[in-house]
Structure 1
Amino acid sequence: MTRRLRVVFAGTPDFAVPCLRACLDAACDVLAVYTQPDRPSGRGRKLTASAVKQAALEAGIAVEQPHSLRSVAARRRLADLQPDLMVVVAYGLILSPRVLAIPRSGCWNVHASLLPRWRGAAPIQRALLAGDVETGVGLMQMEAGLDSGPILLQRRLSIAGDETGGSLHDRLAALGAEMLAEGLRLLAADAMPLPQIQADEGITYAHKLDKAEAKLDWTQSATQLERKVRAFDPWPVAETQLFGERLRIWAARAHSQGVLLPAGQVIGMGADGIDVACGEGVLRITQIQREGGRRMPVAAWLNARPELLRLATAPAE
């Protein structure tokens, strides 16, 4: 015997959309979708609805966009919906204990890491930057602390050697939706397993990404720089100054050969890429983007600038 759940969904970016669809497909009533207010976006800075808002409107679900849930009026509006559960996925607002207590079964969060590793805002990119070989998603019962609540369900995922922030994002979003769908089925059948308290050991924090991190520091190892290039695809995208141009670096591979040239020195270039000496090893840049241009293979960029092939070496900055 299962019951039909009354669910409120709260989320904002693309990552949350598969979970919203999982709620819509489950045996539950989605009463409303909460998402961040429309923000300026693009070169024209036009107000743009979040990915979750667009998906909700397409599904005919009522959308709420409060700037905060701290006011009495906002809490009353949520309480009037009489939800059994609130599902939160990358919403972007902190929920107070008063808000967490409104749904009968509390609030669930789908988080893109194997908690307690990588609590916080950017778990996907931080896992790649750290060279993790495994990650996953967790369904957590929310409490007042930052991603510190007990775990209801968890799914693991191996990280591929050529994984980018974008590819891992998409795989984890799909896996999170599958896990959430299972959780909703279990809750509806009153068969939810007992929550597991997070371990005190192994806690790390995935701090929010800053565009300043995108600039490549050539004194780092080639392995670290390759991880940064992959982690920051599609945002904020690694960058460097090379031959007088600011270039965004979309793809690169680390090579372990030792060199005696200073870090940041170009040591070779051709159709296969541009090799730059690092603090340890060599990074071969294979795909770039000029300011105002499109991303392209290095070979195409060099074809447009044949004079560069006559230069023996040049520093990257």
Structure 2
Amino acid sequence: MRLIFAGTPDFAAQALRAIVAAGHEVALVLTQPDRPAGRGMALQPSPVKRLALENGIAVFQPPTLRDAAVQAQLAAVGAEVMVVAAYGLILPQAVLDLPRFGCLNIHASLLPRWRGAAPIQRALLAGDAETGVCIMQMEAGLDTGPVLLRGAFPIAAAETGATLHDRLAELGARLVVEALGKLPLPGEPQPAAGVTYAQKIDKAEALIDWSRSAAELDRHIRAFNPFPGAQAQFAGQTVKLWRAVPLADGGEIGRILRVDRDSIVVACGSGALAVSELQKAGGKRLAVRDFLAGHPLKAGDRFDLPA
């Protein structure tokens, strides 16, 4: 099938790789303009752009798709379908209407739950028992279109944002190839009940509030691993927490109950959190025994509480 692919991060690159491997003709790749990154803040291509160039696929990086000249360039491709995965730009109706089979979106949730920008982290934060991927026929509304294919799996107890991302990216790649091979597919309208929105992650959300339950903070730490990293404050300094497990212990909120070579146990609003991997500002992620060598925390110390 002759298609246009629109995507930007690693999640999308995995789908593009699968589509190319399946033998489809990717005539054009749309991706976000190069962004400054790294210590030197040099312009860096997106993962999708790098993959496209490796495969000799033409790349187009318009800042908007609302421009008539841009739309004319897309129309000239003569694509039968457009596949969209975490692209980052709004597709106007004129673009949605271009391909014969329309535009298909790979969305990392079980729609209509978690429409929007951050479904992976929101599912973890909410303690959802399962998640999955929907291949959706795009329309003007935000993730409101009919679902062509869906796949689901349970969320594991130790799942992080990183591991869940990788599992969903793999599922999304497999499902979109399956969908492309079966077009045209009937769409299942999304039910009106059960709609939730996955708002974009704000870095301010990363701050840990020790008055919340240990179970909530466990999900908080896992959801924000790797981005933006759950942040606690100790003596006015930021410490990122990367790995922890909830315990039934209790005590004064934010107080360190005990410290050993494997964990620092901190009292929460309900229960306690046994933290096993930390990172000081500007430092590396360290296991507790290595962290304690340079930062001697002890039982009785207390993490700062949010104002």
Report the Cα distance in structure 2 between the residues aligned to 1:219 and 1:305, rounded to whole angstroms: 24
Shift of 1:265: 1.6
The correspondence for 1:217, drawn from 192, 197, 209, is 209
Task: Map 1:1-317; keep pairs closer than 5 Å.
Answer: 5-187=1-183, 192-259=184-251, 261=252, 263-306=253-296, 308-309=297-298, 312-317=300-305
RMSD: 1.2
Partner SS state of residue 213, structure 1: helix
Give the AA of the match of 1:303: A
Report the Cα distance in structure 2 between the residues aligned to 1:275 and 1:179, rounded to whole angstroms: 42
Partner SS state of residue 113, structure 1: coil
Shift of 1:244: 4.9
Q: Percent identity?
A: 52
Cα distance per residue 1:126-182 (max 9 Å; x no partner): 000000110000000000000000000000111100000000000000010000111
Give the AA of the match of 2:138: M
Give the AA of the match of 1:266: I
Give the AA of the match of 2:304: A
Shift of 1:279: 1.0
Report the Cα distance in structure 1 between the residues aligned to 2:236 and 2:85, rounded to whole angstroms: 42
Runs of 4+ in 1 over 4 A off after TM superposition: none
Shift of 1:214: 0.6
**Contact 2:255-2:300 within 8 A present in 1 as well:** no
Report the Cα distance in structure 2 between the residues aligned to 1:312 and 1:74, rounded to whole angstroms: 62
Cα distance per residue 1:105-140 (max 9 Å; x no partner): 100000000000000000000000000110000000
Shift of 1:313: 2.9
**Contact 2:161-2:224 within 8 A present in 1 as well:** yes
Shift of 1:258: 3.3
Report the Cα distance in structure 2 between the residues aligned to 1:72 and 1:250, rounded to whole angstroms: 46
Report the Cα distance in structure 1 between the residues aligned to 2:93 and 2:162, rounded to whole angstroms: 33
**Contact 1:266-1:316 within 8 A present in 2 as well:** no
Report the Cα distance in structure 1 between the residues aligned to 2:186 and 2:83, rounded to whole angstroms: 18
Report the Cα distance in structure 2 between the residues aligned to 1:193 and 1:46, rounded to whole angstroms: 43
**Contact 2:108-2:133 within 8 A present in 1 as well:** yes
Shift of 1:269: 1.4
Unaligned runs of 5+ in 2: none
Report the Cα distance in structure 1 between the residues aligned to 2:111 and 2:245, rounded to whole angstroms: 30
| Residues 1:254 and 1:232: Cα distance change in structure 2 (over 3 Å) | same
Give the AA of the match of 2:244: A
Give the TM-score, by structure 1 length: 0.93
Shift of 1:243: 4.5
Report the Cα distance in structure 2 between the residues aligned to 1:58 and 1:232, rounded to whole angstroms: 31
Partner SS state of residue 248, structure 1: strand
**Contact 1:272-1:286 within 8 A present in 2 as well:** yes
**Contact 2:93-2:139 within 8 A present in 1 as well:** yes
Give the TM-score, by structure 2 length: 0.96
**Contact 1:276-1:316 within 8 A present in 2 as well:** no
Report the Cα distance in structure 2 between the residues aligned to 1:31 and 1:244, rounded to whole angstroms: 53
Report the Cα distance in structure 2 between the residues aligned to 1:215 and 1:46, rounded to whole angstroms: 29
Give the AA of the match of 1:119: R
Give the AA of the match of 2:270: E
Number of positions where the alignment pairs a residue of Structure 1 with one of Structure 2: 305
Report the Cα distance in structure 2 between the residues aligned to 1:247 and 1:28, rounded to whole angstroms: 47
**Contact 1:268-1:313 within 8 A present in 2 as well:** no
